[in-house]
Every structure is written in structure tokens, then in C-alpha cells.
């Protein structure tokens, strides 16, 4: 099981794992399966995220032509969707504060 995935720009460069529970990390080059899995999220679009409306504001580097994909990769959006789906299964008293976060 991998513990970390290291990226150089848009490319998966290393996969870290542990050696049978040993705390020492093992650095591996990504396999073809790793690269295929990573690229499978390239065109992912969230079913939960609404499309935000951005405004031009130079003080905070915002522009009306920005999209959610300018902030998050498809892989990140997929993981956010998974978290929100899991949070939505919780009781109200736990769900509301977690969704706020």
C-alpha cells in the first residue's frame, strides 16, 4: 500500500511505500498501472461541486474566467466528492460541522 504519491508538475514521479510496516520509506518509480490510474482522473468533473461565479479582483488574483479546475485537479475533486459523500452519511450533529469545514 502506498503512503505518498509525489508529483512533479502534472506527472506522477515517485510512489512511497513502507516495507512490511517498517517505518522506513521505500521509494518506487510509478508502474504503468499507477500512471493509468492517475491519468483516469484527468477529465473528472464533480457531481457535487456547483459551478462558482468568480469576479475580477486584482487584489486577490481573482478573474471572471477562472474555473474550479484552476484550483483543483480532477484527482483532488474526486477525493473531495468521496469525502462529502461519506460526511453526508453521518448524523446531523456530526455532518453539519464537517461540511462547514
Q: Which whole number is the average pLDDT over 54-59? A: 90
| pLDDT for residue 53 | 86
| pLDDT for residue 22 | 72
Q: Which whole number is the average pLDDT over 3-27? A: 85
Altogether, the residues listed in the chain come to a count of 101
| pLDDT for residue 21 | 66
Please determine, for residue 52, whether its predicted confidence score (pLDDT) is greater than 90: no
Is 50 within 8 Å of 41 (Cβ atoms)?
Answer: no
Phi/psi of residue 36, nearest 5 degrees: -65, -45
Cell of 51: 459551478
The tens digit of pLDDT for each residue in 60-71 reads 888 999 888 888
Q: Whole-number mean pLDDT of the chain?
A: 89
Q: Give Cα separations from 12 to 5, 31, 41 (angstroms).
A: 7, 10, 13
Cell of 72: 483543483
pTM: 0.71
**Over 18-66, what HEC string results?**
EECCEEEEEEECCCHHHHHHHHCCCCCCCCCCCCCCCCCEHHHCECCCC
Amino acid at each position: 500500500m502506498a503512503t505518498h504519491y509525489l508529483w512533479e508538475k502534472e506527472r506522477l514521479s515517485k510512489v512511497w511505500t513502507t516495507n512490511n510496516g517498517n517505518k522506513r520509506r521505500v521509494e518506487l518509480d510509478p508502474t504503468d498501472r499507477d500512471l493509468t490510474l492517475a491519468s483516469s482522473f484527468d477529465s473528472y468533473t464533480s457531481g457535487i461541486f456547483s459551478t462558482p461565479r468568480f469576479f475580477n479582483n486584482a487584489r486577490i488574483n481573482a478573474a471572471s474566467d477562472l474555473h474550479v479546475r484552476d484550483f483543483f485537479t480532477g484527482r483532488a475533486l474526486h477525493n473531495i466528492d468521496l469525502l462529502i459523500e461519506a460526511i453526508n452519511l453521518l448524523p446531523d450533529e456530526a455532518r453539519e460541522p464537517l461540511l462547514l469545514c
